[in-house]
Amino acid sequence: MTEQQHDESKLERVVRKIKRCLALSKSSNENEAATAMRQAQALMREYRLTEIDVRLSDVGEVESESSRPKRRPTWDQHLGSIVAEAFGVRPFSRRQWCKATRRIIERGLYVGVSPAPQIAMYAYEALLTKLKAARREYVARVRSGKQRSDYSPETAGDHFALAWVSAVYDKIHELVPRGEEDLAIGLHSTGRDLMAVEAQDQALIEQFLSGREIGKARKSREVELDLNAQIAGLLAGQCVELNPGMAHSGQMAAQISHSR
Residue 80 pLDDT exceeds 60: yes
Total structural domains in the chain? 2
Starting at the edge strand that comes first in sequence, how are the strands of the sheet with 59-69 ordered?
59-69, 103-113, 90-98
CA angle (21 as vertex; 19, 23 as ends), nearest 5: 70
- DSSP-derived letter for residue 252 is E
The C-alpha atoms of residue 176 and residue 181 are separated, in whole angstroms, by 10
Verify that 125 and 173 share a domain, yes or no: yes
Phi-psi region of 220 (alpha: psi -120 to 50; beta: other; left: phi over 0): beta
Amino acid sitting at position 210: S
What integer is the mean pLDDT of 117-121?
Answer: 90
Partners of 108 in the beta sheet? Answer: 93
Verify that 40 and 80 share a domain, yes or no: no
**What local confidence, expressed as pLDDT, does residue 178 receive?**
55
**What local confidence, expressed as pLDDT, does residue 129 receive?**
92
Which residue, among 54, 127, 56, 48, has the nearest Cα to 87 in the 3D structure?
A: 127
Verify that 78 and 127 share a domain, yes or no: yes
Verify that 141 and 50 share a domain, yes or no: no
Verify that 48 and 81 share a domain, yes or no: no
The C-alpha atoms of residue 87 and residue 80 are separated, in whole angstroms, by 11
Residue 85 pLDDT exceeds 50: yes
The C-alpha atoms of residue 16 and residue 70 are separated, in whole angstroms, by 39
Verify that 50 and 80 share a domain, yes or no: no
C-alpha neighbours within 13 Å on the C-beta side of residue 73: 15
Does residue 44 lie within any of the structural domains?
A: yes
Label residue 59 exposed, middle or buried (CB < 10 Å: 0-12, 13-18, 19+): buried
What integer is the mean pLDDT of 184-212?
Answer: 67
Residue 188 pLDDT exceeds 50: no
pLDDT band (50, 70, 90) for residue 38: confident
Does residue 133 lie within any of the structural domains?
A: yes
Verify that 33 and 81 share a domain, yes or no: no
Q: Are 107 and 93 in contact (CB under 8 A)?
A: yes
Verify that 139 and 225 share a domain, yes or no: yes
Residue 134 pLDDT exceeds 90: yes
Does residue 157 lie within any of the structural domains?
A: yes
Does residue 228 lie within any of the structural domains?
A: yes
Q: Are 73 and 161 in contact (CB under 8 A)?
A: yes
C-alpha neighbours within 13 Å on the C-beta side of residue 97: 2
Does residue 130 lie within any of the structural domains?
A: yes
Does residue 79 lie within any of the structural domains?
A: yes
Verify that 165 and 239 share a domain, yes or no: yes
What mean pLDDT is reported for the chain?
Answer: 79
**What local confidence, expressed as pLDDT, does residue 8 receive?**
58
Which residue, among 113, 59, 118, 110, has the nearest Cα to 247 in the 3D structure?
A: 118
pLDDT band (50, 70, 90) for residue 219: low
Verify that 154 and 120 share a domain, yes or no: yes
Residue 9 pLDDT exceeds 90: no
Verify that 21 and 82 share a domain, yes or no: no
State whether residue 48 is helix, strand or coil.
coil
Domain that holds residue 152: 74-89+113-177+214-258
pLDDT band (50, 70, 90) for residue 171: confident
pLDDT band (50, 70, 90) for residue 78: very high
Does residue 208 lie within any of the structural domains?
A: no
Verify that 41 and 149 share a domain, yes or no: no
Does residue 99 lie within any of the structural domains?
A: no
Q: Are 165 and 127 in contact (CB under 8 A)?
A: no
